[in-house]
Each structure stands twice: as structure tokens, then as C-alpha cells.
């Protein structure tokens, strides 16, 4: 299943910028923001402030990937502890 790249405008720290991401990453980013009770803009600003190199789109993709990897590891750890 191909996820098309979607370009969206977002305000980060008071300035407007455009970010191009595949739809799946936009969805994941919104889910993470909702789970953290944050706005999408606040979450992206946080990601932007912590990136060391690369462009913002890449930083967001890596953030979303890391988030779901951590969830998977946590789930595996819980299953191992419970013996299921």
C-alpha cells in the first residue's frame, strides 16, 4: 500500500513552514500528539528543537519511527514478563 506524500503548512515557534510527509507519518504524528495532549504544532516544534542534522521532514519520520519502535519493544518486554 503506497502512502502519498502530503505537503502541509504548520506554524512552529511563530513562523509558518511547509513539511512534506507520507500520509502514514502525518497520521502517526497526530496520534502521538493526541496521546501526549499536545497540538501538532507544539509536537513538531519540540522535534525541530531537538534535531541535530537533516531536514525537518526526516526528523519527523525518525521521531515517529522511534516512537512506534519503543512501543513495540515495551509490548515485547511485557509479554516476556507475563510468559505469553
- Taking only the tens place, the pLDDT of each residue in 43-77 is 999 999 999 888 999 999 999 999 999 987 766 56
The number of folded domains in the chain is 1
Full domain range(s) for residue 36 = 5-82
Q: How confident is the model at residue 19 (pLDDT cuts 50, 70, 90)?
A: very high
pLDDT tens for each residue of 23-51:
999 999 999 999 999 999 999 999 999 99
Q: How confident is the model at residue 18 (pLDDT cuts 50, 70, 90)?
A: very high
Residue 20 pLDDT more than 90? yes
Scan for cell 504524528, then name that residue.
Answer: 29
What is the CATH classification number for the domain harbouring 58?
A: 1.10.3990.20
In DSSP terms, which residues pair with 80 in a beta bridge? Answer: none
Amino acid at each position: 500500500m503506497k502512502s502519498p506524500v502530503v505537503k502541509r503548512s504548520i506554524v512552529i515557534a511563530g513562523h509558518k513552514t511547509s513539511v512534506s510527509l507520507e500520509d502514514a507519518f502525518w497520521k502517526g504524528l497526530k496520534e502521538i500528539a493526541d496521546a501526549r495532549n499536545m497540538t501538532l504544532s507544539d509536537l513538531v516544534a519540540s522535534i525541530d528543537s531537538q534535531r541535530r542534522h537533516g531536514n525537518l521532514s526526516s526528523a519527523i519520520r525518525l521521531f515517529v519511527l522511534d516512537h512506534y519502535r519503543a512501543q513495540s519493544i515495551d509490548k515485547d518486554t511485557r509479554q516476556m514478563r507475563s510468559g505469553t
